[in-house]
Amino acid sequence: MLPLQQELESRAVLKAVAAAHRRLAELKGVAGSIPNETILISTLTLQEAKDSSAIENIITTHDELFRAELLIDQLTSPTAKEVQNYAFALRHGFELVRDSKILSEAYIIEIQEVLEQNRAGYRKLPGTELKNVQTGKTVYTPPQDYDSIKTLMNNLAQFINDDSLSDLDPLVKLAIIHHQFESIHPFYDGNGRVTLPGLGPVISRDFRPRG
């Protein structure tokens, strides 16, 4: 359950965070110099969708994705459609958080619905295990029953939205949230791809890179 009690911001972590803040400040400066930031955001969205989906063996090309942006009704490749759904979910999550300034459980479920194009919601059936694809060995077993998943996701949503619960650096907090979400593994599919559409924007809502 969050917040965690142990010390997380070690010297090594804080050095890495400082470097990341500098890089984010550089990116923010470059983005501000572009007349139309939408072009950059759209390109980065597709790149993120492509690379994150590739981790789950959903492979497509940049050319196919850019064509899909223009000819969405003519998409024929199943992998391109999946990556395009990820891009839609990423943008949808960004809009939800930008407008409301929170990331509720309902929004997380909504983002997953856009990504997976179904309304399955949280896992209700036991049996989910994370396995090594090469050896078949189970490396982690997430919570199995719906009530536990619901309780843990409610706790996670509180941690995300209530800044009084933690004074961690936003990037450290983001890492903790990502780890907790993956540990709960609340959905039947798409867990890894659900994190960025919601968790990235909500952590950045009050975040200003330190130059």
Residue ranges and CATH numbers for the domains of the chain are 11-204 (1.10.3290.10)
- pLDDT (tens digit per residue) in 3-61: 988 899 999 999 999 999 999 899 888 878 888 766 766 777 677 666 666 665 555 66
For residue 8, give the nearest of 201, 184, 203, 173 by alpha carbon: 173
User: With contact defined as beta carbons under 8 Å apart, do 205 and 97 qualify?
Assistant: yes
Helices vs strands, H then E, count in the chain: 8, 2
Is residue 205 pLDDT above 60, yes or no?
no
DSSP 139: E
Confidence bin at 206 (pLDDT 50/70/90): very low
Instruction: Report residue 198's pLDDT band, with 50, 70 and 90 as the boundaries.
Output: low
Backbone torsions φ then ψ of 104, nearest 5 degrees: -85, 170
